[in-house]
Homo-oligomer: A and B are copies of this chain.
Amino acid sequence: VTPAPFTSPLTAPLFGDPEVAALLSEEAFVARMIAVEVALLAACAKTGLADPASAQGAAERLTATTIAPGDLGAGTARDGVPVPALVAMLRQRLGADGSALHVGATSQDIVDTASVLQWRDLLTLMEARLAALLDALLAASEAHAETMMVARTRSQAATPITLGLRIATWAQPLITLEADLPRVRALLLRVQFGGASGSASAVGEGAEVLTNALAAELGLRPAPSWHLDRSGPLALGGWLVGLTTALAKIARDLIVSGRSEIGEIRAGEGGGSSTMPQKSNPVGAEAIVTLAQYAAALQPLLAQAASPLEERDGAAWALEWLALPQMAMAAGAGLRHALALVGSMQADGDRMRGQLAAGQGAVMAEAATVVLARHLPRVEAALCVKDALARAQGEGVPLAQVLADDPDLGPLEDWPACLSPDRAQPAAESMRRRILATRAPRT
């Protein structure tokens, strides 16, 4: 429909995210590249690699400089990266003070470090949204700690659980992702400074000192050149896919739970049809699923980017540019939709109870077996319950009734009480608490 689905005014409200778009815009990127050059000037000044007065003057003048991304387009097409054109333009503006600009650096140093600054902002945003989503999920889980519903395994009614437990399982991978952020940041938020071939040879022995000074200027971790070590981008990509994937699980459940025949959970405002007034389409949830599949499909590109040839591989490196910002947009839009869905979620207790009773209490068959196994060998107990269930469904009588009416089994237990779905609540509650306890206390 458009080659820019995340930013087109037609589709961005569905697939995009305005905050992520602002952080990752080409304007932001150019500004970040200039910020890196400015920090490099300051670092050179501090470490004696440039005349302090001249470098500091240049840095100050550049701080106020802006360059329109389009002015670097032709240079990007010619050189494969915008940096040579950018440096030429900045040098022209600085005149004699331009000498210290870009000292010892290569294009990749500027592009990678500027990108890292954008990723830092992105992770800050993602962390806040993820925390908000987890808070909302935990509150919803708590609120539904006693709302009984049918669990479905392999699309079939299984046994009773609580809605609170299901919501806790939604939160479960998100808790892991929240806890994983320090690792992702440690791998990703590293300064890049390797010069032409990764040895930073143009600044000679001062390379490490300069790199550390540059890192300090930018608030990044010092590190040896990672021109060829894409562990950071790989970690970011894996984290984003983990996130969109976890959101898609919530969305898929909501789509099914909101089906006309089920209607156990409503979330979001349903989208309208152009012809059918009764429709309440799960548009937000569908978008989350779409975006998750899209983000996952891009992940192999990051692996290909992480096998660069020799000291720099233009074809491999650029794959990160075609994949990571798009994955970030998918994650941002996914979180936005998920927050709206979870925030508006409403359970329909009647329909949930209706499903618990459907099939003459079939979902209690496992529980009946467990109870009966107190009296009979397990295999026999299982067969007895299977027979009783067949009878119940054949005759249209609840399973508990069939068991109670059975001359042999009836006297063994108070079957209606044993087979109340509510009996499953404590186990679900215990598991729910165990899951939620894995979240680190927030400080």
Contact = CB atoms under 8 A, between A and B. Distances in A.
B426 A204 contact: yes
A318 B287 contact: yes
Contacts of A91: 379
Contacts of A248: 307
Interface string A373-416: 10001110010011001000000000000000000000000000
Given A80-B271, A99-B378, A158-B196, A310 B256 contact: yes
A180 to B, nearest CB: 8
Report the copy number of this chain in the oligomer.
Answer: 4
Contacts of A16: 3
A151 B3 contact: no
B286 A3 contact: no
Interface in A163-198: 165-166, 169, 172-173, 176-177, 183, 187, 194-198
A76 interface: yes
Judged by DSSP, the binding face of A is helix
Find the residue from A1, A100, A280, A294 having the highest chain B CB count within 10 A. Answer: A1
A96 B242 contact: no
Given A169-B227, A245-B306, 6 more contacts: A4-B4, A9-B70, A84-B273, A169-B198, A208-B434, A299-B299
Interface residues of A, number: 193
A202 B173 CA distance: 24
Most buried by B among A13, A154, A173: A154
Interface stretch (A125-133, A134-142, A341-349, A363-371): A363-371
B161 A231 contact: no
A326 interface: yes
A193 B17 CA distance: 33
Q: Which one of A155, A378, A426, A427 has the greatest number of beta carbons of chain B within 10 Å? A: A155
- Of A82, A275, A322, A328, most buried by chain B (CB within 10 Å of CB) is A275
